[in-house]
Amino acid sequence: AQKVTQAQTEISVVEKEDVTLDCVYETRDTTYYLFWYKQPPSGELVFLIRRNSFDEQNEISGRYSWNFQKSTSSFNFTITASQVVDSAVYFCALSENTSGTYKYIFGTGTRLKVLA
């Protein structure tokens, strides 16, 4: 079955530290997408990045970077020089497309607290 595991329940860092959020997934599909979303206290899911299963090129965007490794089924997310505004719950998600039904499988989230 499709599954996303975020083993880190909560992480606390001091401002300006780097932090990596881990995500491990399981899927039978050969074509799929992986996503990271940020959920601040207001509740909305803010899209951060998507990767398709054929694109293992890692990327850096500002203070964010992603490490996608199919060999270990991992899709980790790093924030460099963290800021207080980065405090939120971060979700990793895996797409599943079965018989025309398209949905996300979410992990349980990692709560990031950045302390001033």
Partner 1 sequence: ETGVTQSPTHLIKTRGQQVTLRCSSQSGHNTVSWYQQALGQGPQFIFQYYREEENGRGNFPPRFSGLQFPNYSSELNVNALELDDSALYLCASRTGQNEKLFFGSGTQLSVL
Distance CA 62, CA 80 (A): 9
Contacts with partner 1 in 5-64 (CB under 8 A)?
A: 33, 35, 37, 42-45, 47, 50, 52
Q: 82-97 burial string, b = 16+ CB within 10 Å, else e?
A: beeebbbbbbbbbbbe
- Amino acid in position 114: V
What's the closest the beta carbon of residue 96 comes to partner 1, in angstroms? 9
- Looking at the Cβ atoms of 3 and 70, the one nearer to partner 1 is 3
Binding region for partner 1 (CB under 8 A):
4, 33, 35, 37, 42-45, 47, 50, 52, 91, 93, 95, 98-109
